[in-house]
A = this chain, B = another copy of it.
């Protein structure tokens, strides 16, 4: 079980959960991909260039002078009460009416996921996740030795019939399902959004099976058309745990995320957080709270939305005009990502080094599955590069794919053997 025993003198001492923890080979690739000549469609970093740094600097100066004695001290493990009240106002934009007392502030929503998995999952327990699902969540589930069972999605999000069948099968098998993890809105990596009709259906199915839902919603306010979608949590406060984040609507540098959970669960989360980190950075909490209380954040989100829409349009237009026949992709109405499927016989993972040699990077689809699916898929992100760079990146990608198609037609597929297990390419912060 333990790898690297020849080079790691501590290899015989690790816990079982750590035995499989090795950096993916894709990471090494990404180190190369960060060179300036490469167009990276791989990262998930928000573009924060539009933030008024001088205004924020002044705000933090004032905050430190006026409230530094608190902002530089320890916080409580649950998080600043005033920030939690402001968080409830943010969630209200999606129809969620929660109490600040049921909110816990976390180190990004990643920590909320970690704490939830910690309190709910014993090794071998089943966790349901979309196919594909967020790579960071899969990494956390693997860490706690969960058995991830995927439920397919299509252009309207998670497929309810498939969810029902999966739950019935697992029930017959006597398997314990601890929760369903879903990113219903502008999904990472697929870019699709669960329709209103399916939301109701999903909640009914989960309630009937007594399955908790973890709704991870970092992109909910970054829709390109009309009003924000109504969150799942808005219609089922007892069975849905909502995760949110300011990383995409303000800035990731403070690492402020949160969970809104039923009261008893929230109490466990606070105890788990205390054991994990004592408390999150008080300064980060005060900074975000001050931002929400004194800055025009609705307006800032609106300008983020416009910027990302322009980039989404650049990517979809470029894909439409340049990608060879046989490629298909999703059309996101918000968020950061397009999910592309290559023609039969192509392998996005095997192709990745050749793409990087041609100065374009993406994330191969296998990273978004716990079971080795995703060979023909890739995630393309339009959040960070300028529109012109996006077009140039797609142009390079299209020519790489064309060459792969020629190779396939000449020599056959030459596909590498399937493998299973999480193939984590690293966080979305590259």
Contacts and interface: CB of A to CB of B under 8 A. Distances in A.
Interface of A: 4, 7-11, 13-18, 21-23, 45, 48-49, 51, 53-54, 56-58, 60-65, 68-69, 71-77, 107-108, 110-111, 114, 118-122, 125, 136, 139-140, 142-144, 178, 212, 238, 247, 251-255, 262, 264-265, 267-268, 271-272, 274-284, 287, 426-429
Among A65, A254, A255, residue most surrounded by chain B Cβ atoms (within 10 Å):
A255
B119 A7 contact: no
A208 B61 CA distance: 53
Given A73-B252, A253-B282, A255-B281, A57 B64 contact: yes
A130 to B, nearest CB: 19
A73 B251 contact: yes
A326 B139 CA distance: 55
Contacts of A111: 276-277
A72 B60 contact: no
B284 A281 contact: yes
A218 to B, nearest CB: 12
Nearest to A255: B281
Contacts of A17: 118-119, 122
A264 B8 contact: yes
Contact of A18 (B4, B118, B281): B118
A45 B70 CA distance: 11
11 contacts: A14-B120, A17-B118, A18-B119, A53-B72, A61-B61, A74-B247, A110-B278, A136-B275, A255-B279, A276-B276, A279-B429
B277 A110 contact: yes
A426 B278 CA distance: 9
Copies of this chain present in the complex amount to 2
Contact of A114 (B23, B51, B255, B277): B277
B56 A64 contact: yes
B73 A253 contact: yes
Given A136-B274, A278-B427, A278-B429, 4 more contacts: A57-B61, A57-B63, A139-B275, A255-B277
A429 B62 contact: no
Contact of A61 (B60, B76, B119, B280): B60
Contacts of A65: 53-54, 57
Contacts of A142: 275
Nearest to A77: B427
A143 B272 contact: yes
Contacts of A262: 9-10
